[in-house]
Structure 1
């Protein structure tokens, strides 16, 4: 038996969840507060676990066609000295896929295109979620013209980001996101740039500069700085040039290929205090709403994709036989409570462990600012065994995605035309 779900948030995690739930036979509505789903954003690296999740959702091949594999790169000093080398070919041999780089907008577009028209409702702000009925949830929304509506659902998925307003329904006393101590400026170049590597990080004192090469020759760059929260610059690109323009090539060329208005600036927040649960009643937290982490391991989006596939697989596994319903008849989907227990048990330990590892990676990498600490870090990287970087990536990227198939009863009912 299928059910009806409301997903709050139309980002990567929310759209992936909608695809996964539809893949197991559920009906889904995605509610997105923004009036327009634009394609703004910078770039993203997808590790093997993220790609395996996308494969389980049926969109992996399309994403690969739009992405560029990351075979070459590593970590350098501001003067260009090599600290560590990334062996993308070794990762591909170990995991069956290399890390890939893709504009975030392209990934978002691929996920949107996998959903039917009308599945994503924009300009719909969720004003309340009522969990008082143990069999269903009631989601109230408001639109820009002042009108409101309500939906009853077997499941509500809160994929509403690091500043999730629905998180309080799961953990009322949680302190919420904390500032990591770092702020990031980033952009995509306006034109192709000649690059010697697919991916690179450069670590200085309390600062990091990195790039991701794209399939069309353009590149994403990011500049991370230790900074008090809320600091903003009149000209972000000029400030980035001031801070990083003297660092090694191709950093000056990347900045020269960037339009000033294209630079995004965001403070980095994370959930330092882990949540005691990802679920409450018929509500499940997913992605940054559940485990917002620093970007130091490149695992934020990958963990959200894991969440989406794991939730759908748990619902499929816990569904029992019965008659299939429509979205107007919520309240009897079997196995939802057991599936949410299973989702929490599978996802919370892993995602919170990855978040802790990302925080530690930042503290031992970009966050270091004392000259002696930086010198010790650089020396440790230089003398580390050649396979250390590959092993570090494997520690988090080697995840096997469950298969997503409709419950047997649903497949049988569909084959006989039962609705």
Structure 2
């Protein structure tokens, strides 16, 4: 069989993973990224066991910080519920992992074949027969993978009515070095979530999610956080002070599920297909799953049949995860009613570790299809 070719539009987690998977099963791949160089927008990322299995199937195994324990605590540091690492492994199959987003992007980039990634290339339009137009020409391919993010121009072309919707909260995020690494923890208050996720090398990824209108900005983000959280439990104030750069962004998700992830020879993947809010930590994880499933279905089938199977497998699962993520936000960081917040805290105190460590297991126990490495055929 002659070597088949694909163009991946977008050099984020999903796009790079898709390129690796397709190359692994014998496809010739070109990745087009509009940015002049790959940069990791963001701070840290949690990699649930489903994502770790997807990465392993792609042959990419970055160094992760395996979470050793923790729990839900209140703003004064009093424990509400325990999170047991051994029970987590028993329920999910692997430890919860965490990594600096830049390190994950670099691990994926390093696994690409030489010359595959083209940066500084702006895709101007695509055709459903596999033609990609960009600033300096066009490329004909057997497949186009649209991994161009939450504001995907390709999705907008294929589904003009699709739109993103504000998820109800803004997120402050950062990474700081702390000699005494804290445990994994989440703190809830009315309309607030503060999370700590230990990384490697004495680094801690932290975030603050606040329920509030979109578009609010601050002249001095650090001063705002100090004023609001300076008397919260340690090490939250320490982390705010020790973070070189604090990021702030509003969170959005796809307002209405797409009717299909496929149009002609174009497959949507990751946020372009199923952008979800961050409340389950599954956005990047689902993109990695997408990449493995897409590659696996394209190993032997025709493009049309493979894309039909990809859509049939990925759309129901990812849309269910996206819906669950929206629900998790409503009962978690976006919950503002004081009576319901107090009731949630009282209920949480009653939960044994055996229950808290099962949260998300129905998603994270996913097993990837097998990829059979195939050398590229000579033309």
Say whether the 8 Å CA contact 1:170–1:279 is kept in structure 2: no
- Whole-Å separation in 2 of the counterparts to 1:10 and 1:386: 39
Please, which runs of 5 or more residues in structure 2 have no aligned partner? none
User: Residues of 1 paired with 2:279 and 2:114: CA distance?
Assistant: 36
Gaps of 5+ in 1: 143-147, 319-334
Deviation of 1:51 (Å): 0.1
Match of 1:359, SS? helix
Q: Measure the CA separation in 2 of the matches of 1:37 and 1:193.
A: 30
CA contact (8 A) 1:182 1:268 kept: yes
- Partners of 1:292 and 1:173 lie apart in 2 by 15
Q: TM-score, normalised by structure 1?
A: 0.87
SS across alignment from 1:83: strand
Q: Is the 8 A contact 1:193 1:253 kept in 2?
A: no
Q: Distance in 2 between matches of 1:289 and 1:3?
A: 23
Q: 1:349 to 1:356 in 2, by over 3 A?
A: same
> What is the aligned partner in structure 2 of residue 21 from structure 1?
22
CA distance in 2, matches of 1:384, 1:317: 47
Distance in 1 of aligned mates of 2:369 and 2:77? 42
Moved over 4 A (4+): none
Q: Secondary structure at the match of 2:181?
A: coil
| CA distance in structure 2 between the partners assigned to 1:116 and 1:418 by the alignment | 15
Q: Which residue of 2 aligns with 1:278?
A: 261
Match of 2:295 in 1: 312
Q: Aligned equivalents of 2:29 and 2:43: distance in 1?
A: 28
Q: CA deviation at 1:393?
A: 2.1
**1:46 matched to which residue of 2?**
47
2:180 is matched with 194
Asked whether the equivalents of residues 169 and 280 of structure 1 are also in contact (C-alpha less than 8 Å), the reply is: no
Say which SS state the counterpart of residue 45 (structure 1) adopts.
strand
CA–CA distance in structure 2, aligned partners of residues 359 and 100 of structure 1 = 22
Give the TM-score taking structure 2 as reference length: 0.96
Secondary structure of the residue aligned to 2:180 is coil
3-state SS, counterpart of residue 166 of structure 1:
helix
| Correspondence 1:5-404 to 2 at 5 A | 5-60=6-61, 63=62, 66-131=63-128, 136-142=129-135, 148-174=136-162, 176-189=163-176, 191-197=177-183, 199-259=184-244, 262-318=245-301, 335-404=302-371
Q: Structure 1 residue 207: deviation in Å?
A: 0.8
Please give the alpha-carbon distance, in whole angstroms, between the structure 1 residues aligned to 2:360 and 2:328.
12
- Within 1, Cα distance between the matches of 2:157 and 2:38? 26
Superposition CA RMSD, Å = 1.5
Report if the CA contact (8 A) 2:275-2:322 is conserved. Answer: yes
* Contact 2:91-2:357 within 8 A present in 1 as well: no
1:418 is displaced (CA, Å) by 5.8
Instruction: Report how many aligned residue pairs link the two structures.
Output: 378
**Distance in structure 1 (CA, Å) of the matches to 2:353 and 2:203:** 29
Alignment match, 1:145: none
Look at both structures and tell me which one has the larger radius of gyration over its CA atoms: 1
Deviation at 1:258, TM superposition (A): 1.3
Q: Quick one: distance in 2 between partners of 1:251 and 1:123?
A: 38
CA contact (8 A) 1:170 1:278 kept: no
